[in-house]
């Protein structure tokens, strides 16, 4: 009976893992269809119609996607090598102060970082990208460090006994074993970037947050709701895609 129950539970879990990824894109499609139906069927005044014009919405979505893409790529290029360097023995005394700085940066309100950086270097898309980069570096940096440091010593000693150099151990043993943890940090960083990019409109960088901000300023709550739904849909879709990539790149055990 116990084995049957365990098998049933395992089958249920596998079924859930199979079905759940499908639910997210279905939900996103339903949201987008609902938004498109509202824009085409509702009696909108000229201001609202101009704000919700498909070309304007697509332009804002493109701006949002670019900010997320650029900040994520730069984050990977910076956080991954930095996490690897901090995992080396000679850098163990640098780990605590650097992680403390990263934790302090993430503890600050994201809007504060964006506005402060805009006051220091000016407004625009590049400033927004750098601000979002600074805010979201910690998850990938910390996970990369933890993934490598947590590699079992017996495994690294065995690799060294086989004649592998430090670089070979890193590339062939530590990083492959740490892939699940590293990808989890990357996924967290990516979702943070999607959400924070909505604030880029405050410094003139555009994005889907522009719909929300304009709607609030002009008292158009339908525009605010649509902008919020589109931003949420974007975040769900990005997280869904990242989960599929994480699952595909995670070594099977």
The residue extents of the domains of the chain are: 21-249
Give 65's contacts (C-beta < 8 A, 6+ positions apart): 234
* 119-153 pLDDT tens trace: 988 888 999 999 999 888 889 999 999 889 888 88
Which residue in the block uniquely carries the two structure tokens 């869904």? Answer: 240
Axis crossing angle, helix 221-249 with helix 209-217, rounded to the nearest 10? 160
pLDDT class of 163 with cuts at 50, 70, 90: confident
pLDDT class of 82 with cuts at 50, 70, 90: very high
Reported as type and span, the H/E element at residue 131 is helix 125-149
How much is the average pLDDT of 223-236? 93
Rounded alpha-carbon distances, angstroms, from residue 213 to 55, 118, 191: 18, 18, 21
pLDDT class of 104 with cuts at 50, 70, 90: confident
pLDDT class of 250 with cuts at 50, 70, 90: confident
Domain 21-249 has CATH 1.10.3720.10: yes
Give 196's contacts (C-beta < 8 A, 6+ positions apart): 110, 114, 132, 135, 136
Among candidate residues 186, 181, 162, the one with its CA nearest the CA of residue 172 = 162
| CA 237/CA 239 separation, integer angstroms | 5
Count of other CB atoms within 10 angstroms of residue 247: 12
> Within the chain, how many helices (H) and strands (E) appear?
11, 0
CB 64 within 8 A of CB 197: yes
CA dihedral 16, 17, 21, 26 (to 10 degrees): -10
Residue 48 backbone phi and psi in degrees, to 5 = -65, -40
């Amino acid at each position: 009976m116990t084995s049957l129950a365990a098998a049933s539970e395992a089958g249920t879990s596998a079924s859930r893992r199979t079905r759940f990824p499908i639910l997210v894109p279905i939900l996103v499609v339903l949201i987008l269809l609902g938004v498109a139906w509202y824009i085409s069927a509702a009696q909108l005044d000229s201001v609202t119609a101009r704000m919700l014009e498909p070309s304007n919405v697509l332009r804002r979505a493109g701006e949002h996607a670019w900010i997320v893409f650029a900040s994520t790529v730069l984050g990977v290029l910076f956080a991954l090598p930095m996490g690897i360097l901090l995992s080396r023995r000679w850098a163990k005394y640098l780990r605590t102060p650097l992680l403390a700085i990263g934790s302090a940066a993430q503890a600050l309100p994201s809007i504060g970082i964006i506005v402060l950086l805009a006051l220091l270097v000016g407004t625009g898309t590049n400033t927004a990208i750098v601000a979002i980069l600074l805010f979201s570096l910690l998850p990938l940096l910390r996970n990369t460090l933890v993934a490598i440091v947590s590699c079992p010593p017996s495994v690294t000693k065995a690799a060294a006994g086989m004649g592998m150099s430090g670089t070979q151990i890193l590339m062939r043993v530590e990083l492959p074993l740490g892939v699940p943890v590293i990808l989890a940090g990357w996924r967290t960083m990516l979702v943070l970037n999607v959400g924070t990019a909505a604030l880029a409109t405050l410094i003139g960088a555009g994005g889907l947050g522009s719909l929300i901000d304009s709607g609030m300023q002009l008292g158009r709550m339908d525009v605010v709701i649509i902008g919020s739904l589109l931003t949420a849909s974007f975040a769900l879709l990005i997280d869904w895609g990242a989960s599929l990539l994480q699952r595909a790149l995670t070594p099977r055990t």
